[in-house]
Amino acid sequence: MSTSTTAPAKAPEPKTGSANPLVALTANLRQSGIYIAFVLVVALFAVLTDGRSLAAANVSTIVTQYAYVLVLAIGMLIVIVAGHIDLSVGSVLAVVGAVAARLAITYEQPWWVAALAALAVGIVIGAWQGFWVAYVGVPAFIVTLAGMLLFRGLDYLVLENISLSGFPPAYSKIATGYLNGLMGGYGYDAFTLLIGALAVVGFVVQQLRTRRARVKYQQTVEALPVLLLKIVIVAAVVMWFAYQLATARGLPIVLILLAVLILAYAVITKSTVFGRQVYAIGGNLSAAMLSGVNVRKVNFWIFVNMGFLAGIAGVIFSAYTNGAQPAAGTGAELDAIAAAFIGGAAVTGGVGTIVGAMVGGLLVAVINNGMIILGLGQEWQFIIRGMVLLLAVAFDVYNKRRSGTR
């Protein structure tokens, strides 16, 4: 397998890795394991629920219901890669929603004032926590454990201990709105399908451009059959997904927001100096410092960013529930942390990807949703969620040890 990649880079034609997709798959089980697990879990629940979990309406629901966890997981992944943890995001989400509700419901401000104020609160909270972690040097575990209590208390203060509900419709639409019928519907929404098709085209173009650039720089690229197989699989999944949405309620607005965030943060973590410094800090703090990374600054902005994303999640969550409750978002931090770890992030920092965390988050979402459809009681839901997290990380540890024996 590796012999094909050791050849000197003089060869004029593109060098390719193994043409056997199975070999390529097993060669990097650590990365592909999560995708396999995801497919298996989806299939399992499809069987258990007689296909109800894959029904158009349910697929659409999963997206809108769990979008806030995925948004939190984006920020959490970055926090974890840098070697920190954030236990406060559930409380932050609540206080952000409370502020939005107070403004929009009690003081009848326009929806966008409430939403922007909520984001601002999230950013300020992030800066607060970043200050303690980065400039005072208190471990993030402690800072955010304190924050978890602190912001839950603020949430109670803002809400005066009672729930507020009844956002203006424009605000609620952020999480529950759909783009439907923009290009006419024929039993299905053509616009949603078009967006799906555009996504596929975008993916193909990006793959081909990457491939061309890599060939230009004389690097190893996947064999063409592997690439084609990958494109076909991705296209099939995306179009199936788009079709499900199209036959249900159309394109969820929150999905557009989520897609933009995922794309942006995938680029930020992979290709910006900031993103790369996050990995450097998590991988070896001392080496990063001696390489000229301004560790304090990076840590500070990691938490500001987490606050910003918790703000967005808070807006989505309050919009979805159409109100603010004192106990909102309790345990949300654990779902976000679970998503990052199930998606392959390392507990010791330095490892993890946005896409992995998103698949991890979806895995959690599909399991939760499936259990609800099956009508499992709360007790079993907790037990199963706990076991899934444990087994996922155990699998990861096992894989690492296997690859580390050499």
Residue ranges binding another protein (CB under 8 A)? 2, 5-6, 9, 213-214, 216-220, 267, 270-273, 276-277, 279-280, 283-284, 286-294, 346, 350-351, 405-406
Q: In terms of CB distance, is 19 or 213 closer to another protein?
A: 213
Work out the end-to-end distance of the chain between its first and last CA atoms, rounded to an integer number of angstroms.
16
| The one-letter amino acid at 69 | V
Find residue 185's DSSP bridge partners: 189
> Angle 89-101/295-321 helices, nearest 10 degrees?
50
Q: In terms of CB distance, is 114 or 351 closer to another protein?
A: 351
Q: In terms of CB distance, is 77 or 366 closer to another protein?
A: 77
Coil, helix or strand at residue 28: coil
DSSP state of 324: E
The tokens of 190 are what? Answer: 């053509």
Smallest distance, Å, CB 322 to another protein?
A: 39
Smallest distance, Å, CB 350 to another protein?
A: 5
Smallest distance, Å, CB 299 to another protein?
A: 16
**CA angle at 41 for the pair 36 and 47, rounded to the nearest 5°:** 125
Residue 114, classified by CB atoms within 10 Å of its CB into exposed (0-12), middle (13-18) or buried (19+), is buried
Smallest distance, Å, CB 84 to another protein?
A: 17
Check the CA dihedral 166-169-170-172 and report its sign.
Answer: positive
Nearest-angstrom CA–CA distance, 6 and 22: 21
Q: Beta-carbon neighbour count of residue 141 at 10 Å? A: 13
Nearest-angstrom CA–CA distance, 129 and 281: 18
The H or E element that residue 134 is part of is: none
Q: In terms of CB distance, is 136 or 290 closer to another protein?
A: 290
Q: How far is CA 389 from the centre of its chain?
A: 16
Residue 17's nearest CA partner among 296, 312, 222, 269 is 222
Smallest distance, Å, CB 298 to another protein?
A: 12
Smallest distance, Å, CB 205 to another protein?
A: 17
Smallest distance, Å, CB 3 to another protein?
A: 9
Nearest-angstrom CA–CA distance, 303 and 283: 18
The tokens of 82 are what? Answer: 């840098």
Smallest distance, Å, CB 33 to another protein?
A: 18
